[in-house]
Amino acid sequence: MANPAILTVDDDPAVSRAVARDVRRRYGDRYRVVRAESGDAALEALREIKLRGEQVAIMLADYRMPHMNGIQFLEQAMDLFPLARRVLLTAYADTEAAIDAINLVDLDHYLLKPWNPPEEKLYPVVDALLDAWLDTPDSAVPETKVIGHRWSAPSFAVRDFLARNLVPYRWLLADDPEAVRLLSAAGLSADDVPVVVTTDGVSLVKPAEADLAAHVGLSTTPTLDFYDVAVVGAGPAGLGAAVYGASEGLRTVLVEQRATGGQAGQSSRIENYLGFPQGVSGAQLTDRARRQALRFGAELLTTREVVSLECGGTSRLLRFGDGSAIVAHTVVLATGVSYRRLDAPGLAELTGRGVFYGSASTEAPSCKGEEIYIVGGANSAGQAAVYFAGYAERVHILIRGDDLSRSMSRYLIDQIEKVPNIEVHPRTVVVEGHGADHLERLTVCDSRTGNTRTVETSWLFVFIGAEPRTDWLGDEVARDRHGFVLTGPDLLAEGRRPRGWTLPRDPYHLESSIPGVFAAGDVRADSVKRVASAVGEGAMAVSLIHRYLEAQ
């Protein structure tokens, strides 16, 4: 194992050399000093260190760098090495910068330049930080291993579940020598895959998601019988409600059927979310929100399907598919929407075997050098196209309309126009999929001429429609004709309150036709389908919950 690294980043070459020289002189025999002259270069160095399985002890970043300042760099670097100690270098006592750094990146120290003599101003600080880091080293994380077949839908489902729940794993094909050894040691064969070998050596054969979740450290069982607020759905709206509910002292539980993040969690890059000028992946944003909610004391239950909502007095009961239930004063419905299935012959049988709904970013490396097809013209499709273009030979976007301007943000359209291996096909639809054990060809049709053609491809990613996940709600929860939950003023038809409404007041803005049951995010009728608005509605729902509880 290589020595742990101490990374320094400063855009002034002279200062960069000086700080690296002083650090190397004192610690070069025990630590590898890595020097960078920009935030981007430093992040690239950190990624290489991460891929090699090595450690980083301290990161020293100059505050006033162009393009990416020290705080912005440290904020992104935390995702790679969360336990590395963080130091901000500045030329003068910038109190505002220090406060920002403390709030955003949990800064460990704030150093003024110049630091001469280093024996008095630099080394004592670094010594103390190294001692603290050694007390809590970034120990290696044991690997979860997934063994399966390349074109197996169950194997893809396992990998996708782990990836979307941010569980690190290593993927092994069933005929890989290491996979053969693992299967043999467990008394299994290639016919038994997918097999998951957990970090404690347990072999799970074709595991159900609930069983898999329990073995990889995801919580599935509530610790309480009664909560102040139960949030159903852990997309941006649900995570926002959980963060604000728990941070304000409400006993909060967040229930998710599959994985945190929702559709946003599958996005390869979100670039129009406030506060992230360089963009952020859906997985990163989801992970930060999840950790934030847990830090404030919210509970997160995974692989729990809510099948009914029942009301009794001031209590709201959520019943799970296994018959168990939790009870809460209030409920936030944040179940979001799901992608609509593409209705064309041959595609249903190939789902998970070349046909995917959503970005399925785990498949991107396998697309290297190949032609892939994306159906959809909204932001999620555009983000996926830009991401997959970094791997595929060519990315084809198929849309029903004449161009992308109707449903895609301008910044994404501009990006797509600049990527040479992305091609947009207007007025084009998929009419059939072909293949034996996996997708091999697509038949597409030009709706202007009616002409069809067959293209060779093993990859189809579908981003169409927005179907709300509300089938489990009873008739008491009013919905529009598309299934989206009606709230607030939309419930007051001709000035009358909804049928069965028991309170003397009108429903609050995000309140459904059942008092104390709120809706936030994409599941709400006429909501703005953006991550920022979903998070805002989650926070607003908590504010309205306080008003509701105070009146009880």
Percent pLDDT > 90 in the chain is 62
Q: Give how far Cα 453 sits from Cα of 151, 289, 391, 407, Å.
A: 25, 45, 25, 26
Q: What domains lie within the chain, and their CATH numbers?
A: 5-135 (3.40.50.2300), 144-215 (3.40.30.10), 226-338+467-550 (3.50.50.60), 348-462 (3.50.50.60)
Q: Give the integer Cα–Cα distance in Å for 457 and 236.
A: 33
Q: What is the mean pLDDT of residues 210-233?
A: 94
311: Cβ contacts below 8 Å, ≥ 6 apart: 317, 476, 514
Strands (E), 66-165: 85-90, 109-112, 144-148
Residue 126's pLDDT band, with cuts at 50, 70 and 90, is very high
Q: Which two tokens stand for residue 400?
A: 């029903």
Q: Give the integer Cα–Cα distance in Å for 253 and 298.
A: 6
Q: Give how far Cα 87 sits from Cα of 41, 110, 125, 325, Å.
A: 18, 6, 9, 47
Q: Give the integer Cα–Cα distance in Å for 279 and 316.
A: 39
Q: Which two tokens stand for residue 430?
A: 């998929």
**Does residue 220 carry a pLDDT above 80?**
yes
51: Cβ contacts below 8 Å, ≥ 6 apart: none
Q: Give the integer Cα–Cα distance in Å for 498 and 485.
A: 13
Q: Please give the residue that has the higher pLDDT: either 316 or 495.
A: 316
List pLDDT tens digits, range 138-189: 554 467 899 999 999 999 999 989 988 888 888 999 999 888 888 887 888 9
Q: Which two tokens stand for residue 473?
A: 């709600």
Residue 49's pLDDT band, with cuts at 50, 70 and 90, is confident
**Does residue 406 carry a pLDDT above 60?**
yes
**Could you tell me how far CA 183 lies from the centroid of its own chain?**
31
Q: What is the mean pLDDT of residues 71-86?
A: 87
Q: Give the integer Cα–Cα distance in Å for 73 and 61.
A: 8
